[in-house]
Amino acid sequence: MKLLAVLVAAVASIAAPAQAQDYPTRPVRVIVPFAAGGPADVYARFLAQRLQEALGQPFVVDNRPGGGSVIGTDAVAKSAPDGYTLLMMSNTHTVNESLMQSKPYQLMRDFVGVAPVNYSDLLLVVHPSVKANTLQELIAEAKAQPGRMSYASSGPGTPYHMAGELFKAMAGVDILHVPYKGSAGARTDLLGGQVQMMFDAVTVMAQHAREGKVKAIATSGTARSTVLPNVPTLAEAGVPGYEATIWLGVMAPKATPAPVVSKLNAEIVKIVSQPQVRDDWGRQGATAMTMSPSEFEKYLNADIVKWERIVKLSGAKPDQ
């Protein structure tokens, strides 16, 4: 039996590098647990196209929204750990570790980090029917009519939701959260005036602000966005210490072979490190992120801790 175990281990040690060298030999599915049209979907399709060009096999994007990202994420957790099913994730997933206690999976138990992709600031915007033109005016208006103003999000636990709850807690305002199944629906109703405000990725919402379809109130980063340099941050406009972003990354089922994870990481790093990509993303308001798998694991663990504190501070609930 001991000899058999040694032989099995030896064969496995030889097969793993060979598996990575040959990978992929068939189409790879990239599950996006969010609706089409949002940042995760847009950048998943960007990556899929370039991974297909680099690795010679189709990378097919599969949108499976619902349950605050839980439905699509659980599908990946239950898939074979062979590198042929990947998860396009965001900090929704690190938030959900403390926000949603009854998920059928645990992020760091059931997944392995492959690579981060990028991050961007959020933009707080209001419909033109809202009288406020500045953050201080918006806070005053919200305080004058508690519970009557509303903000849209792409669902519980998403960066848009948590940015809104953090704002409510830090600014001391009572604003109704209106969750949608995806950011596209939330955005559409904001533009139509069905809700008064929204935190949205600057990569998507900045153009609507430039066109006057919404009023840009503030951005969520620690410094002003280069995309909208005349728009102040929430911290400088009246909510000191406020900071929230949206970031994206790729994960795989936990037992995915390390050589396959390393190969995917290397290819993603190559893609997001290209000067043209960084320049294009910069003009959109996104900043490329590059880390090794082990660095990304540390980043994920730290982000889980960060959002656990914010969930407690804001009092956010998955059904609110």
pLDDT tens-place string over residues 168-201: 999 999 999 999 988 899 999 999 999 999 999 9
pLDDT band at 320 (very low <50, low <70, confident <90, very high): low
**Residue 11: its pLDDT value, please?**
47
* Structure-block tokens of residue 40: 């995760």
One fold for 24-119+246-314 and 121-237? yes
Model confidence over 108-126: pLDDT tens digits? 999 999 999 999 999 999 9
Give this prediction's pTM.
Answer: 0.87
Q: In the prediction, which pLDDT does 2 show?
A: 53
143 CB-near residues (< 8 Å, 6+ apart)? 172, 173
* Confidence band, pLDDT 50/70/90 cuts, at residue 13: low
Fold of 121-237: D-Maltodextrin-Binding Protein; domain 2 (3.40.190)
What are the domain boundaries of the chain? 24-119+246-314, 121-237
113 strand-pairing partners: 251
Closest among 278, 275, 286, 273 to 118, alpha carbons compared: 286
Q: CATH top-level class for 24-119+246-314?
A: alpha beta
Distances (CA, A) of 113 to 93, 96, 162, 202, 251: 12, 16, 23, 25, 5
Could you read off the pLDDT of 208-229 as tens digits, one per residue? 999 999 999 999 999 999 999 9
CA angle 95, 101, 107 (to 5 degrees): 55
Residue 5 has pLDDT above 60, yes or no: no
